[in-house]
């Protein structure tokens, strides 16, 4: 449904509703740090373009994810043969089209057939650049996995940090006290003895100093209530800080920290931030018809229809 020229008012309920027009693309930088500050620390960095697509054939909300840069590991391209092979073969997935639920949470891969059609071309390029029986075995295993849509869905569900962080069910009612509670299972906690992080989600009562909506997540590991796991229960915490566009409610930035001990402690930090268009500020279109800075979130008018990167994170984090 085209709502580009309509004005939407909130009801009296504290809620978030995504107003991302179809066919609009936004670029983001992604930085994932594993075990920050430790001897075994590693950093993965890349850029993506996210496009809201028109609904699918059954009315599903669709988003397209494109990787628009190389993937850098510790500031360099993957150098180990195994890493280069996985990276080259993994290009078959992009552009990736996913379905989300009505709250914005990841559901499934939508363009499975397109991925299958791309495979032969990607496979030929891999064989042009790699050789050996190990390469052929890897491609054979991947080909079998690609043929099974459920296997692909499970792979992204279990392993993709960007999808887990960006496509969360944020768009829902938060009740009278602007809070909600959910259980989230991130890639850091794959054990069968863990249900996930039981998470309190708190929506800010007013926009911040530069007009963005704040959403805070605080979670702790919820172990299964099973006598088999009492002796070795995992522990862990999760903190997420989302900044959302005051008009469209799309993500401007995310900083999320995860730790998990089972029994050794692992840490992951995920940063996702919008990349403004050349010559624009990230918040240049925050203003609505009236000055909304400081107004309660539930009183804002949503009009549905970014740059110097210097000091970008300082501005976002209000430092």
Report pTM.
0.83
Six-digit token string for 90: 């993994």
Longest CA–CA span in the chain (Å) reads: 65
Whether the Cβ atoms of residue 200 and residue 228 lie closer than 8 Å to each other = no
The DSSP letter of residue 230 is: G
Helix axes 112-129, 149-159, angle to 10 degrees: 80
Backbone angles phi, psi at 311, to 5 degrees: 70, 20
Residue-by-residue pLDDT tens, the chain, 319 positions:
333 333 333 344 588 999 899 999 999 999 999 998 788 889 999 999 999 999 999 999 999 999 999 999 989 888 788 889 999 999 999 999 999 999 999 999 999 999 999 999 999 999 999 988 889 999 999 999 999 999 999 889 888 999 999 999 999 999 888 999 999 988 887 666 778 899 999 998 888 888 889 999 999 988 776 555 555 677 899 999 999 998 889 999 999 999 988 666 889 999 999 998 877 777 766 765 444 444 445 444 332 333 333 344 454 444 3
List 301's β-bridge partners, or say none: 9
Beta-bridge partner residues of 47 = 29
Q: Mapping DSSP to helix (H, G, I), strand (E, B) and coil, where does residue 144 land?
A: helix
Query: Tokens representing 26?
Result: 């936004």
User: What letter would DSSP give residue 191?
Assistant: -
């Amino acid at each position: 449904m085209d709502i580009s020229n309509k004005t939407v008012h909130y009801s009296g309920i504290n809620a978030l509703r995504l107003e991302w027009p179809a066919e609009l693309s936004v670029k983001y930088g992604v930085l994932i740090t594993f075990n920050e500050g430790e001897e075994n620390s590693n950093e993965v960095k890349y850029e993506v373009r996210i496009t809201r697509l028109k609904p699918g054939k059954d009315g599903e909300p669709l988003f397209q994810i494109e990787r628009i840069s190389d993937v850098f590991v510790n500031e360099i391209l993957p150098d180990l043969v195994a890493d280069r092979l996985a990276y080259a073969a993994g290009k078959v997935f992009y552009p990736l089209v996913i379905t989300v639920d009505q709250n914005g949470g990841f559901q499934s891969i939508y363009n499975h057939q397109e991925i299958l059609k791309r495979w032969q071309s990607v496979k030929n390029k891999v064989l042009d650049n790699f050789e050996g029986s190990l390469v052929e075995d890897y491609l054979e295993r991947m080909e079998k996995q690609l043929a099974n849509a459920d296997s692909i869905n499970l792979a992204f569900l279990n392993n993709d940090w960007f999808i887990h962080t960006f496509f969360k069910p944020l768009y829902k009612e938060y009740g009278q006290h602007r809070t909600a509670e959910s259980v989230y299972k991130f890639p850091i906690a794959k054990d069968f003895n863990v249900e996930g992080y039981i998470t309190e989600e708190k929506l800010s009562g007013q926009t911040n100093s530069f007009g963005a909506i704040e959403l805070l997540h605080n979670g702790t590991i919820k172990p299964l209530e099973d006598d088999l796991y009492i002796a070795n229960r995992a522990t862990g915490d999760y903190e997420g800080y989302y900044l959302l566009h005051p008009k469209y409610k799309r993500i401007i930035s995310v900083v999320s920290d995860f730790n998990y001990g089972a029994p050794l402690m692992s840490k992951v930090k995920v940063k996702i931030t919008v990349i403004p268009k050349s010559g624009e500020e990230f918040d240049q279109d925050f203003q609505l018809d009236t000055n909304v800075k400081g107004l309660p979130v539930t009183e804002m008018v949503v009009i549905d229809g970014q740059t110097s990167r210097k000091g970008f994170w300082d501005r976002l984090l209000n430092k």
